[in-house]
Structure 1
Amino acid sequence: MKTPLTIFAICCLTSLSCNNSSQNSQLTSQDTGKIANPEQQLFGSSIKWLDSSKVEMAIDTTISYKTKNFDCDSVLAIDYTGFEGEYTFLPLNDKGQWINKIQQVKKLTQQQEDYVATVIGDKKSYSNPVLVACYEPRHGIVYFKNGRVIGQTAICLSCARLESTIKIGDPKREGLLNEVGRQKLNRLCKELQFSDCRNE
């Protein structure tokens, strides 16, 4: 027979565990500050942040794609799903946790690094942009220096749009690409054999 004290303790623990699980399951987009609803499903599973393989974040807001050769040790291209409903995510959150929707990771060659910097850093890539009312990033670029992440960029080729912690060539800083800029980044997508490249 359960005593009133035992029943009270079970109710309290149940209440606490429900509160904790709902708080822990909410995702915060570092870019929009919105809370993603954990009930929203994307192809049967929601976006989460992985505790394993955390990296140290040291985002450098002074670096720019316009300088083309900013100092970094390595650059990773990420094939991932960076959206859920109306919420968008970079490959890493501000705690250094990787998103759980990564399909492939490839290290860029120096030539590929230079190519990305040239396209994203060129203001001509943003003149007369393609205007599409969506943003569903599926490709990311993550920059490392001394084992720490100094910058990252998320790209949506379908929507011709990107967001970045690194200064881009767009004078308005909106990240809206034109068709030429999108095609150039799509060439790299195909070269890396990533998913969701555009068929041109």
Structure 2
Amino acid sequence: MKLLSNLFFNLLILLVLVSCQAKLDPKNSVQIDDKTILPKKPYSIDKSKFLKKEVLLDYITKANTITPNAKNGVPFDKLDYDKIIAYDFDGSEESYPSVINKFKNFVPVVLAQKALSQIQADKILWALTQKSTYGEGTAACFDPHFALVFYKDNKAINQINICLGCNYLIADLNIPAQTHLKVNKGTANEYSLTGFTKSGTTAIVSLCKELGFFYQSNPN
């Protein structure tokens, strides 16, 4: 009986170790210039730093305007917007999977906001519409920390939420380039590799560095 008890205990320990090992496995991380970028949520965030609704709404009206650029690619070549504001927020798959919720309100975990310049907007939108930006695997989670919201006459018309830890984005509008690479094409098991490639991640990290946002560097 004692032997069985010890065996069960050892198996339990082994399972715990294997589970932890799986969670720490960096195989799904993204490599940039031989440096691992694996963003993780901070262990704690000072909730007093979250922006109030009034501050967020006031910023929209005062943000600089830009002009749509047909060279940016589908679907942004035909989207009518006059502002794009980037948001740094503490997203989570269950509670806050997007910076603007289904009720068209900001989630209460926004940490920073920056209106994009024309150059910044054109650069990141061009990157997000290129096939070379997508084609890798993704994780089975979505805890975004970065979002782009498009505005027209100070009303949100489209948003893109990005999780580099899970390696993909979710947008209101379909981005054809995101699903260009198919696996098991033509079969019942067909699916797309929608994860960011090295160049895709580099474009996002580069913009976040300019903005001073969470994804500007490896937070580990």
Relative to the length of structure 1, the TM-score reads 0.62
Q: How many angstroms apart in 2 are the aligned matches of 1:103 and 1:65? A: 30
Query: The residue matched to 1:170 in structure 2 has which SS?
Result: helix
| Structure 1 residue ranges without an equivalent (≥5) | 1-41, 56-63
Whole-angstrom distance in 2 between the partners of 1:111 and 1:43: 34
Evaluate the alpha carbon distance shift between residue 167 and residue 99 of structure 1 in structure 2; reply closer, same or farther with a 3 A threshold: same
Q: Which residue of 2 aligns with 1:75?
A: 84
Q: Distance in 1 between matches of 2:195 and 2:174?
A: 14
Shift of 1:130: 4.0
In the other structure, the counterpart of 1:141 is 148
Equivalent pairs: percent with the same residue?
Answer: 25
Match of 2:98 in 1: 90
Q: Name the structure 2 match of 1:176.
A: 195
Task: Calculate the TM-score normalised by the size of structure 2.
Answer: 0.57
The aligned residue for residue 162 of structure 2 is 155
1:95-110 aligned within 5 A = 95-110=103-118
What is the CA-CA distance between 1:120 and the residue it aligns to?
Answer: 1.1
Distance 1:65 1:103, change over 3 A: farther
Amino acid at match of 1:179: K
1:166 aligns with 2:173: yes
Report the number of matched residues. 146
Give the whole-Å Cα distance in 2 for the aligned partners of 1:154 and 1:186: 14
Letter of the 2:121 partner, please give it.
Answer: E
Corresponding position of 1:125: 133
Asked if the contact 2:205/2:215 (under 8 Å) is kept, the reply is no
- Aligned-residue CA RMSD in angstroms? 3.1
Q: Which of 123, 129, 142 in structure 2 is aligned with 1:115?
A: 123
| Cα gap change, 1:105 to 1:123, in 2 (>3 Å) | same
| Counterpart AA for 1:111 | I
What's the secondary structure of 1:72's corresponding residue? coil
Taking the aligned partners of 2:104 and 2:73, their CA distance within structure 1 comes to: 22
Counterpart position of 1:5:
none
* Counterpart for residue 190 of structure 1: 209
Work out the CA distance in 2 between the residues paired with 1:181 and 1:110.
20
SS at match of 1:66: coil
Instruction: Assess, with a 3 A threshold, how the Cα gap between structure 1 residues 101 and 87 changes in structure 2: closer, same or farther.
Output: closer
**Structure 2: gaps (5+ residues):** 1-42, 59-71, 181-191
